[in-house]
Amino acid sequence: AIESGVAQKTITDWETYAIELDKRLGLDNQLMRVLGAKARRNPKRLVFAEADNIKILKSAQIAYDERIAYPILLGDERTIRQMALDNSIDIDDMPIIDPRNDEYEEKRKQFGELFFKKRQRKGVNQYEATKMMKDRTYFGCMMVENGDADAVISGLTRNYADAIRPALQVIGMEEGVKKIAGMYMLLTKRGPLFLADTTVNLNPTAEELADITLLAAKEVRSFNLVPRIAMLSYSNFGSSDTPEAKLVARAKDIVKQKDPTIIIDGEMQPNIAFNQEILRDNYPFSELVDQEVNTLIFPNLAAGNIAYNLMKEIGGADAVGPILLGLKKPVHVLQLGSSVRSITNMALIAVIDAQLKCENSNQESAK
Interface ranges with ligand ACO (CB under 6 A): 122, 160-161, 164-165, 168, 173, 179-180, 199-202, 305, 322, 335
Q: Which residue lies nearer to ligand ACO by CB, 41 or 178? A: 178
Q: Does a cis peptide bond (omega within 30 degrees of 0) precede residue 267?
A: yes
Q: Which residue lies nearer to ligand ACO by CB, 43 or 321? A: 321
Q: Which residue lies nearer to ligand ACO by CB, 79 or 169? A: 169
Contact 250, 205 (CB under 8 A): no
- Pairing of the two strands 181-188 and 318-325: antiparallel
Q: Could you tell me the smallest distance in angstroms from the CB atom of residue 118 to ligand ACO? A: 8
Q: What are phi and psi of 83, to 5 degrees?
A: -65, -40
Q: Could you tell me the smallest distance in angstroms from the CB atom of residue 277 to ligand ACO? A: 33
How is residue 299 annotated by DSSP?
S
The neighbouring-strand residues paired with 265 are 230
Q: Could you tell me the smallest distance in angstroms from the CB atom of residue 297 to ligand ACO? A: 15
Q: Which residue lies nearer to ligand ACO by CB, 74 or 164? A: 164
Q: Which residue lies nearer to ligand ACO by CB, 34 or 161? A: 161
Q: What are phi and psi of 322, to 5 degrees?
A: -75, 135
Q: Which residue lies nearer to ligand ACO by CB, 66 or 197? A: 197
Q: Could you tell me the smallest distance in angstroms from the CB atom of residue 275 to ligand ACO? A: 28
- Gap between the Cα atoms of 233 and 281, Å rounded: 20
Q: Could you tell me the smallest distance in angstroms from the CB atom of residue 196 to ligand ACO? A: 12
Q: Does a cis peptide bond (omega within 30 degrees of 0) precede residue 128?
A: no
Q: Could you tell me the smallest distance in angstroms from the CB atom of residue 66 to ligand ACO? A: 24
- Gap between the Cα atoms of 302 and 209, Å rounded: 14
- Gap between the Cα atoms of 216 and 72, Å rounded: 29
